[in-house]
Structure 1
Amino acid sequence: MKITIDEGKCVGAGQCVLVAPDVFDQRDEDGVAVLLTEETPEDERPRVQEAARVCPAAAIATDGR
């Protein structure tokens, strides 16, 4: 699964980190979401999709695989 974060859209709400903390983190200086891994483990995929769904800024996109 490919994950992208549009840093320009991210508002630093942190919902992605709450839903999938093994995949997402936030930069200390501005709270923008960052990926912790380039390859999403199979068991994390539902959480990553949920993180994309609950992102208030729609800053996270997945290819759905």
Structure 2
Amino acid sequence: MKRPAAPRRLHIDWTRCDGRGLCTELLPGVFDRDDWGYPLARDGSREPVIPRGDLAEARMAVNRCPRLALSLTTRS
């Protein structure tokens, strides 16, 4: 029997992020912005789960982050 795929999470390397906000624009259902433009997970987590329907946008955010601060992970 095939196991269901682990949920994908978006990790932010805070030592690289400078709050440009591209990820918040590509993933408005996952992120909001703070007063300085840094992403805030809407669910309050450090590594928000990416809904399946937003996985393409999450990959785009990872690839287009100007500071290379994003990565996708399967950690639980």
Q: Settle same-fold status: TM greater than 0.5.
A: yes
Range of TM-score over shorter length: 0.7 to 0.9
Identity of aligned residues (%): 27
The CA RMSD measured in Å over matched residues stands at: 1.6
TM-score by length of 2: 0.69
Identify the structure with the greater helix proportion.
1
Rg comparison, structure with higher value: 2
Query: What is the number of equivalent residue pairs in this alignment?
Result: 63
* Residue segments in structure 1 that go unaligned for 5+ positions in a row: none
Aligned to 2:51: 41
* Secondary structure of 1:62 counterpart: strand
| Contact 1:24–1:36, Cα closer than 8 Å, also in 2 | yes
* C-alpha displacement of 1:17: 1.2
User: Could you tell me how far apart the structure 2 residues matched to 1:59 and 1:34 are?
Assistant: 14
